[in-house]
Every structure is written in C-alpha cells, then in structure tokens.
Structure 1
Amino acid sequence: MDIERIGVSIEESLLNEFDSLIKASGAKNRSEAVRDLIRQKLAEEKLTKPDKRAVGCITLIYDHHKSALAQKLTDLQHHHIMEVIASTHVHLSHSSCMEVIITKGEAENIKLLSEQLAAQKGVKLSKFTLMPEEDAV
C-alpha cells in the first residue's frame, strides 16, 4: 500500500484539542488518528446510500419490572427476524436488565428496529452502532 503525504493547516487551539484527543484515545500519532477519522466518516457516508447492507449492535438498559416490556422487546426482535442474528440478556440488578442485540441486514431496517426498541416505555438507555457490512468482512 502506497502512502501519500499531505499537509493540513489547523489553528493552534484546534490542534491542541486534537493532540489531547489522540493522547486519550491511544492512537500512536496524528497520522493514525486522522486516518481513523477519515475511515469513520467514509463508513458513515456509505450508510446513507439506499439499500445499504450493514452490521450493528443495539444495546438497551431497561426496567425489568415494567409491565410486559421484555415481551414487547422480544416481539419487536421477532418482527425483524431477518436483521436480528443474536441477542444476549443480562441481569444488572433487581430491577435493571441489559439486552445486546447483534444485527445484520439493510441499514434502514436495522435503524428502524433500534428506534422502535428505544421508544418502548421502560427503556432507560439505548445505544446504537452501525457499520457498513463490506467494512466488517
């Protein structure tokens, strides 16, 4: 793989913040950090295309005692059976559970599932990660 060298002009305050970010993230140097940011932005852009295939992870923390919530979450996953490839349920406390749902399929369908799950009454926190399928193989 050939490496091209480029120059970038950045104001000092922004560069100082970037250097702090690099240090905190564990990146080896500025070049590595810039490459990572470019890859991330390109991956995000790929996901805006129609019918884009993706892999993802939906993480939920919810109230175990909320009436019929666990059943509603399961029903939504069954409704999206073509996208849900695995899920794990963990008891965090007497009243809180975590569900991690691994997905694969059309990005729009996975995003819809994530939104539907997060909107359920009793879901306390929701985090959604999506990546282009082609970048995952």
Structure 2
Amino acid sequence: MQRITITIDDDLLATVDQLCQERGYNSRSEAVRDIVRDAVLSPRAAKTGSGMCSATLSYVYSHGTRDLARRLTDEGHHHGVSVASMHVHLDHDDCLEVAVLRGPADALRSYADAITTQRGVRYGYLHLIPEEGGTQAEHVHEHRIIPSV
C-alpha cells in the first residue's frame, strides 16, 4: 500500500469525519479508499457494455397489483441472469425483493428495466459490479447426481 498526502478544505474534511462516524470507519483512510473505489467502479460499470458483471437489483412492489408476481417471475426466467433472490414482506401491501444477478452488463440492465418498469414496482435500483477482465466466461460447477440405492 502507498501512503499519500492530500489537501482538503475544513468543510469537506468535516464531511469525511461525519461519514466515518456514521458508517463506523476506523480511519479516514478507509473512508477515502471506499469513496475512490465507488468513484472508479460506478462509471466503469456504467460504461461496461457487454462485459461480465455481478449485480444486485433491489425493488419494492405492491403484491396486490394484479398479476404482478407472475410477470416478475416470468421476467426472471426469460432473461436468465438471476442467481438468487430474497423476498421480504414490508407491510400488508408492499414487498421488497433483492435479486443477485450475473451476466453481461447489457443483459443485467435489460432485466432491471423489464422489472422496474412494471406497473406496481417502485424504488428500483441496479448496482453493477464489473468483474475483473470484464469478459470472463461464466463459472460453472459440475453437479453429480448420486443414484439412490
């Protein structure tokens, strides 16, 4: 690791210190590293056309909206980028869904658009994380079926 020195005005330093306190950083260095990573990864993810990415898609939807749950499930099967998901009932009407995704960035954006533009879905957010190299082949685990005796 390299040590650097930066000059920062008092107001901005106070903001960094507040961020450290709010998020529980042990040092300013940890906070600044995360800020720089975010500044570098976010634009890189935005520019990643068909490069491989991992992602999370989080959204809130009204489970009472007619046929919405079926449409959301159909989109997941159609796009083939979903790795796992978690479903939480927030209250009587609303559910939170968090999907872990993997695939080409274009496909992930397309899937996110297909989900978040459905009537009854709101607060959609896609967080893309570019994979190193950006074009890696998908990692596949071999599954063996052991016959029962």
Structure 2 length-normalised TM = 0.78
Instruction: Compute the RMSD of aligned alpha carbons.
Output: 1.9
CA contact (8 A) 1:58 1:126 kept: yes
| Pairing 1:133–2:131 present | yes
Amino acid at match of 1:5: R
SS at the partner of 1:28? Answer: coil
- Looking at structure 2, the residues matched to 128 and 68 of structure 1 have their Cα atoms a distance apart, in angstroms, of 23
User: Percent same amino acid at aligned positions?
Assistant: 34
CA contact (8 A) 2:84 2:99 kept: yes
Bigger Rg over Cα: 2
Gapped regions of structure 2 (runs ≥ 5): 134-149
Query: Which residue in the other structure is 1:89 paired with?
Result: 87
1:117 Cα shift? 0.9
- Looking at structure 1, the residues matched to 17 and 88 of structure 2 have their Cα atoms a distance apart, in angstroms, of 37
Gapped regions of structure 1 (runs ≥ 5): none
Compared CA separation, residues 68 and 25, structure 1 to 2 (3 A): same
SS at the partner of 2:132? Answer: helix
1:104 Cα shift? 0.2
Query: Which residue in the other structure is 1:38 paired with?
Result: 36
Structure 1 length-normalised TM = 0.84
Runs of 4+ in 1 over 4 A off after TM superposition: none
Amino acid at match of 1:41: A
Amino acid at match of 2:65: K
- Looking at structure 1, the residues matched to 20 and 68 of structure 2 have their Cα atoms a distance apart, in angstroms, of 41
1:32-71 equivalences in 2 (<5 Å): 32-47=30-45, 48-71=47-70
Query: Which residue in the other structure is 1:74 paired with?
Result: 73
- Looking at structure 1, the residues matched to 64 and 114 of structure 2 have their Cα atoms a distance apart, in angstroms, of 19
